[in-house]
Structure formats: structure tokens, C-alpha cells
Structure 1
Amino acid sequence: MDYNGKKVFYEYRKNNSKTVIIFIHGSGGDASTWKNQILANNSHSVIALDLPSHGKSDKFEKLSLNLYVDVLTKLIEALNYERIILGGHSLGGAVIQSYYFLYPQNLDGLILISTGAKLRVSPAILESLKQDYEKYLIYLNNVAFSKKTKNSIMNEYKDKSSLIGAEVTYQDFKICDNFDLFEKTNLIKAPSLIICGTDDKLTPVKYSQYFHNKIPNSTLVLIENAGHMVMLEKYKEVNESIIKFVKSLE
């Protein structure tokens, strides 16, 4: 996709469905975060976006929540589906909430995965990104996953994250740190699926419980033995929840 002369990449698995889910990754991530959702036996089409400066998208000079939301807006404008559902992980959750409050009429559902209405970031994370990126990547694996998660899953994620780089990841976390829609959550009227791993240390279960308490038409799914990267750690359970949610909207 062209955005002001720059290339923004997305994975697209299309079928004949009238429904599409657009997934937005978290800080320092890319579209590959959603590989298990793209490859699932879906009854709907799936798009996984590489945000600017991430994955296969071009590098942008300055990253911001407004930029991410605007890129998503342009993508949605180019689509022709009866039902559009947005799925966001962590930072991606901030992007889709922000989009919802601009264009609620465009959406048929939200999938909020390991995210919050407010996303404060530990100063230790921001500092380690500035000082020692390799140390940060090791720290990330310790906090982003359940202790029950296989090393192969964690190492693959670490390798992918290392390609994004410290500067982009730092900007992402600063966007999260400044994000706050805490007082507006109860205004979300869209059907919402909320997914969180019970071992999530970065966006603990209480964040998802808050969504569930405030969003009238919401379903909360807590997944055992999964951390912040629940859609990689327990993808079968995540996919089952998503497919069930999509069917409930048809």
C-alpha cells in the first residue's frame, strides 16, 4: 500500500467471506506476530499490517499514534467488506481503540489482546532500550512469555524483534507510555473480544478485566499458561476464541 509515497506492507489472506479481520502488532513487532492467525482455517479474510518502520514497511522519520491510526484509516478506506473487525495486541490495542473513537460506524467488532485502556511502560524497559539493546532483548523474553512457554517460540520472537531495532521499539514504547483512554472505555459499544494470558506481566489480567467491566457487549477469555505473547504461545485457544467471536457477529 502506498502512503504519502512510502510503502506500507501487509499480509493478506483472502477468501470469499464478507468479513475481514485486520490485525495490528505490538511494540517492536511486525505482521509475523500473527502468523498462526493468518494460517488458521478461517471462515473470514485476514490482514496483518506492518506498521511504518516495522517488518517490510518503509522507514518513516517520526513515529506516532496518529501516524499509525492514519495508515490504518487509509487501509480500511481501500477495502470493500460488509464486516470489518480490528484486532490489536498491546500497542496495536491502542491503535484500534483510537481508530474506534474516530470511526465507530466503520467497525463491527474489536479484538483486544494483551492490551489496556492505559499502557504505562516501566522506566526500566525504556532505559534498557537506550543503554543496551541486547540486554533488553533478553529481558523481553523473561517478561513477555509464560515460564511454561517453549524456548523455540521465545527465541524465534527474540530474533524477529532484534530486526526492528532499538530506536523504533523505543518510539513504540513511548507511544504506549503516553496512551490513555481510561475514561472513555465505557463508551465502546462495539462487540468486543478480550483475550489475555494469565501469566501476562506486561499487561496483567486486571487490564483486561477492566475492559470487560466497562464494555457492555464484551467477552473475556483468559488463557492459562500464557504470557503477553498469548497469540504465539497458545495460538489454538486464541484462534478458537476468534472464530467463535466472528461467527457470533454473522
Structure 2
Amino acid sequence: MIHFQEIDGRKIACWVNNGSFLPDRKTLVFIHGAGWDHTSWIQQYTSLKNAFNIAAIDLPGHGRSEGPGEQEVPAYVEWVKKILEGLGIKKPVLIGSSLGAAICLSFVIRYGDAAAAVVPVGGGVKMTVNPMILEGLKQDPAAVIGMAVKFSVAKQNRERFSSLITDSLSRVNPEIIHGDFSACNRLDITEAIAGISIPALVVCGAEDKMTPPALSQFIRDHIAGARLALIEGAGHFVMLENPEAFNTTLTDFVNSLP
């Protein structure tokens, strides 16, 4: 169900399990990528809701959350902190895709063991965005969205997912997407990543062209004890393209945590 809370004068939405969170279950918090909302995780929260406490966040300006978006990853980190506090969530497993991966990693770098574990999906310590894309979002957002969709899913999955992704991104104010991409472009946690000491599962679609597997391999190599899962038959939207493999990989990792 959708839960609303007011934070700093804005109504912020999250998908959460029906009823109260159960104290004997681990809690998963999902954070979407640039221009998306909680529905990017629909294959996860509908499949895993009976096994875990789940919150899938709509960042400010996205989905059903009010207000403008942000231009910097650290600003989104502070929103996530306030959202978790408002929901009474402590020590969750943070799972984030793309921009969400940057937010998750940056949250853990700043707040340490406030999370039980972190799962960056299709992320990187730097996520440089071509200046032509940033400018194109101002001049011709539909063309940029079309190009982004083409490179976001594995070739064999384009017919199945292109319309879904295009429709989702087209519903968002282009200024929000521009802000999200700008936040990615400013990201640089190359040095700070080594300070993460909680369990980490790094996930990437084996055919990801937006954030290639080499970026995830770098994250794995620079977090002590981190695991890497490359999901076959999937690109940047691995959680939608191959949800069965993604959910199994995530569940096995979470169940291995103390």
C-alpha cells in the first residue's frame, strides 16, 4: 500500500507492506533511479512482501511525492534518512538502482552502520553523464529519453520493456530528470568507498550499457568482503528484466546476514 508522511512541509510517499512492520523480519528499503519512482521495484515488493518488511521510496518530486527533486546525491541522502526516521525503520538493507545505488552507497559512507547492509544495483563510484544529454534534457527531452531507454535494457528485452520505461520517464517533469542526471554527474565517491564496512552485495546486469559491469566490479573490489552478482539476460533495469534471478540473488544475500 502507499503510505504518506509529511517531511519538511512535503508529502512523501512510500510503498510499504500492509499493516505494521514485523519485528522478526528483516527490512528492505528500495530506492529508485533517475526519473523513476517506487514502481521500478514492483517485481520485488510484490514477490518479497510476505518474507520481508519492505519500503519502496518515492524520492521528492518523483511518483506521488511532492516538491522539486534535488541536484546532489548528498541532498537525497538526507531525505532518505528523514524518510527512514519517519517510518521508524532502523538497520535496513538499503537497495538502490543507478542514482539509487549512488544514494545507498553515499548514505552508508555518511551514516555507517545505520544500515545492516547495502545493495548497489547498476551503480558506480562515478556516474559521468555526457553534457549533450544534460543539454538535450532541456532542449528535446523526448529524444534523450528515447536514447536512454534504448541503452537501458538488453537488446533482446527492448520490445518487451521499451514502452513501459518510456511511459514512466515521460510522466516525469524533465527538470526532475535533469536534476537527477546532474546529481549522478557530480558523484565521486572513489576514495570514500573503501570506508564502507557493512555487508555489501553489488548487482549489475551482464549486458548493462549505462553502467557497465566494470563499474560494479570496482565497487566490489573496494569494499571489504563485498560480493558481486552479474545477472545474465539483463541490462541496466536488471530488476525488471530478470526479476527471478534478481530476487533469488537478493533473498539469498539477505538471509545470509546475521
Q: TM-score, normalised by structure 2?
A: 0.92
Equivalent residue for 1:26, pick from 24, 27, 33? 33
User: Does residue 1:211 correspond to 2:219, yes or no?
Assistant: yes
**Paired residues of 2:91 and 2:113 also in contact (CA < 8 A):** no
Q: Does 1:180 align with 2:184?
A: no
Contact 1:20 1:44 (C-alpha < 8 Å) held by counterparts: yes
Alpha-carbon contact 2:150-2:162 (below 8 Å) kept: no
For the residue of structure 1 that corresponds to 2:224, the secondary structure is coil
The aligned counterpart of 1:6 is 10
State the Cα distance separating 1:8 from its structure 2 match. Answer: 0.8
Which amino acid in structure 1 is aligned with residue 173 of structure 2?
Answer: G
Residues 1:189 and 2:197 aligned together: yes
Q: Secondary structure at the match of 2:157?
A: coil
1:95 to 85, 89, 103: 103
**How far, CA to CA, are the matches of 1:103 and 1:134 in structure 2?**
37
Q: Does the alignment pair 1:200 with 2:208?
A: yes
Render the CA deviation track for 1:12-55: whole Å, top value 9, x for unaligned: 12553431111111111111100011111352111110111011
Identity %: 31
Alpha-carbon contact 1:13-1:47 (below 8 Å) kept: yes
Superposed, which structure 2 residues align to 1:1-250 within 5 Å? 1-13=5-17, 16=22, 17-42=24-49, 43-60=51-68, 63-80=71-88, 83-250=91-258
Aligned equivalents of 2:208 and 2:225: distance in 1? Answer: 24
The Cα shift of 1:218 comes to 1.0
Q: How many residues in Structure 1 have an aligned counterpart in Structure 2?
A: 250
| SS of corresponding position for 1:216 | coil
Q: Is the 8 A contact 2:35 2:177 kept in 1?
A: yes
Residue 211 of structure 1 aligns to a residue in which SS? Answer: helix
Q: Distance between the aligned counterparts of 2:199 and 2:181, measured in 1?
A: 27
Residue 61 (structure 1) shift: 7.0
Contact between 1:199 and 1:227, CA under 8 Å: does it hold in 2?
yes
Unaligned 5+ runs, structure 2: none
| Aligned partner letter, 2:25 | K
**Per-residue CA distance 1:43-71 (angstroms, 9 max, x = gap):** 21111101110110012275432331111
| TM-score between the two structures when normalised by the length of structure 1 | 0.94
Change (3 A) 1:61 1:205: closer
Amino acid across the alignment from 1:219: R
Whole-angstrom CA distance in 2 between matches of 1:234 and 1:46: 20
- Cα contact 1:18–1:81 (8 A) shared by 2: no
Give the partner amino acid of 1:110.
Answer: V
RMSD over aligned CA atoms reads: 1.6
The list of structure 1 runs, each at least 4 consecutive aligned residues, that deviate by more than 6 angstroms after superposition, is none
> Is the deviation greater in 207-216 or in 117-126?
117-126
CA distance in 2, matches of 1:142, 1:115: 18
